Structure 1
Amino acid sequence: MNTASPLADIGLWSLLQRLRGQRWVDLTHTFSATTPHHPSFRPAELRKTVDHEDLIDGQRAGFMTHEYRFAGQWGTHVDPPVHYHAGLRYQDEIPVAEMLLPLVVLDISARAATDPDSCVTLSDVAAWEARCGRIPEGAFVALRSDWSKRWPDQARMLNADREGISHFPGWSLPVLKLLFEERAICACGHETTDTDPGIASSRGDYGLERYVLGRNCWQIEMLANLDQVPEAGALIVATWPKAEKGSGFPARVFAICPEA
């Protein structure tokens, strides 16, 4: 007699077993009080409020708690649409169905190594599609620059010159318009502190970030380890706390990659 649970018949448990046999890559930086951050944010405060050996009413506490104070856009984090556009989605309004997506990686790391002001181009997208096929609808597209290798050095992440102008790679409007309007991707992400290249964000120009979020789409900033995932064929899982009317929060992001 078959005594297996009917729930097993839908195949999700066996799917999980297959996924566990693949390669999992953490795309999230560990954050702390000294994490690199946008210059407009105050330093974070992270403190232990109770330790295991502390006494509470004369008795050993036996547990540990921490208190965290930081800007929502801290470390590897999500930017929901409302971050730049009143009336669009808050972070708690993004459905969990959008948190598991096909992962596309556009790699400009070789150019960025010699030219920190490099931006992704339509030619980069065309070359990717020539190798891998059309970018799938509903994908998450990540811009790999290897800038995350500068973590956790704030000065190297911002890479400012003597005039205070930052020099780090970024997206470009033609590429973003192609991805969101023609390929209908769901979200995007990058390793730097901003969607816009440093020379733009240093003068207060966040037009590219405004464009992405204005599509009522979301993004992840300050991703890690994109050099460890393939340019095509992986899945990305991006999730974050469900803060009511939240405008951004540290995220936990990872990729599930085909085993080579």
Structure 2
Amino acid sequence: MHALYQLLQDLKGYKWVNLTHEVNDQIPIYHTFNPLQEKQISKMEQDRVHSLEYTIGSSHGTHIDAPSHFAEGKRTLQDIPQNERVLPLYVIHLEDKVKDDPGYAVTVEDIKDFEETYGQIPEGSFVAFSSGWYKRFDDPDAFVNKDKEGVEHTPGWSIPALEFLSRTRRVTAIGHETLNTDSGVDAAEQGFLDAQYYWLAEDKYQVELLANLDQVPAVGSIIFVAVPHIKDSPGFPAEVFAVIPNN
């Protein structure tokens, strides 16, 4: 058997985990976007063809943010090659901390604690923050989690943690389960998504609104990020999945 065929056969023997939410017109979306719109183009009964036209935001559902989403002059979606979207996956599980503090932001200390247990995160990896927040996805109000003052209490990354991953560990990409990179409290205090800007300005991509990270072990998995090839796009909904160990 050819080596790549054997590799594929081997991969299919592992467990595959869907990390992608379904997109519909009821899902939580960033406030600058409109909900998904669907238009019937042709009908099977009269045209013998079923065709639909969708109007969808570049950040709807599980999606990839290219660096150009926030950073002018940085890479667009088509500039990110396929082999940069298939990566070793490291998952930092902080569900308990987020349960105690919905506005928790990942720290450098969290990353170092992770490495003390699992070893140093290697260059070229994808690092995901598992918060358990994806379980709120079907309830947009609970997902955004605003207080009476309109501040969102949602988890995210701290800038020092992102700087450590980018400059010290030189990872390729990050991912999380929320709408934004920043915690909601940090974003409100800053008046902007400073952590998101920092990461994308490093010319690195991220995946937002990931699902089912709690089913993925801390180490030993591979992540696949499949996206369409749209000219000059700052991002787009993606199909994301992981191949994980059977045990």
User: Aligned partners of 2:120 and 2:150: how far apart in 1?
Assistant: 40
Contact kept in structure 2, 1:121 and 1:174, CA below 8 Å: yes
1:246 aligns with 2:233: yes
User: Aligned partners of 1:252 and 1:93: how far apart in 2?
Assistant: 18
User: Aligned partners of 2:186 and 2:163: how far apart in 1?
Assistant: 18
Normalised to the residue count of structure 1, the TM-score between the two structures is 0.92
4+ runs deviating over 6 angstroms: none
1:105 aligns with 2:101: no
> 2:42 aligns to what?
50
> 2:28 aligns to what?
36
The C-alpha deviation readout for 1:150-197, integer Å capped at 9, x for no partner, is: 012111111001111100001011111111111110000100000000
The C-alpha deviation readout for 1:55-85, integer Å capped at 9, x for no partner, is: 2xxxxx2221111112111110110000111
Look up the equivalent residue of 1:255 and give its one-letter code.
A
Q: Equivalent of 2:222, from 235, 244, 247?
A: 235
Look up the equivalent residue of 1:101 and give its one-letter code.
L
Q: How does 1:6-155 map to 2 (within 5 A)?
A: 8-9=1-2, 11-53=3-45, 55=46, 61-155=47-141
5+ unaligned residues in a row in structure 1: which ranges? 1-7, 56-60
> 1:182 aligns to what?
168
Secondary structure of the corresponding residue to residue 24 of structure 2: coil
Look up the equivalent residue of 2:111 and give its one-letter code.
V
Q: For structure 1, which segment, 166-175 or 117-126, has the greater mean C-alpha deviation from structure 2 after superposition? A: 117-126
Look up the equivalent residue of 1:104 and give its one-letter code.
Y
User: Aligned partners of 1:44 and 1:127: how far apart in 2?
Assistant: 40
Matched-pair identity in %? 39
Query: What is the Cα deviation at residue 33 of structure 1?
Result: 1.3
Secondary structure of the corresponding residue to residue 35 of structure 1: coil
Q: Aligned residues, how many?
A: 246
Look up the equivalent residue of 2:144 and give its one-letter code.
L
Secondary structure of the corresponding residue to residue 87 of structure 2: strand
The RMSD of aligned alpha carbons is 1.1
User: Aligned partners of 1:135 and 1:176: how far apart in 2?
Assistant: 13
Secondary structure of the corresponding residue to residue 243 of structure 1: coil
Q: Which has the larger radius of gyration?
A: 1
Query: What is the Cα deviation at residue 44 of structure 1?
Result: 2.1
Normalised to the residue count of structure 2, the TM-score between the two structures is 0.96
User: Aligned partners of 1:48 and 1:34: how far apart in 2?
Assistant: 19
5+ unaligned residues in a row in structure 2: which ranges? none
User: Aligned partners of 1:48 and 1:106: how far apart in 2?
Assistant: 42
> 1:168 aligns to what?
154
Look up the equivalent residue of 1:221 and give its one-letter code.
E
Query: What is the Cα deviation at residue 128 of structure 1?
Result: 1.2
Contact kept in structure 2, 1:196 and 1:205, CA below 8 Å: no
User: Aligned partners of 1:187 and 1:248: how far apart in 2?
Assistant: 14
> 1:222 aligns to what?
209
Contact kept in structure 2, 1:103 and 1:141, CA below 8 Å: yes
Q: Equivalent of 2:144, from 152, 158, 167?
A: 158
User: Aligned partners of 2:43 and 2:175: how far apart in 1?
Assistant: 37
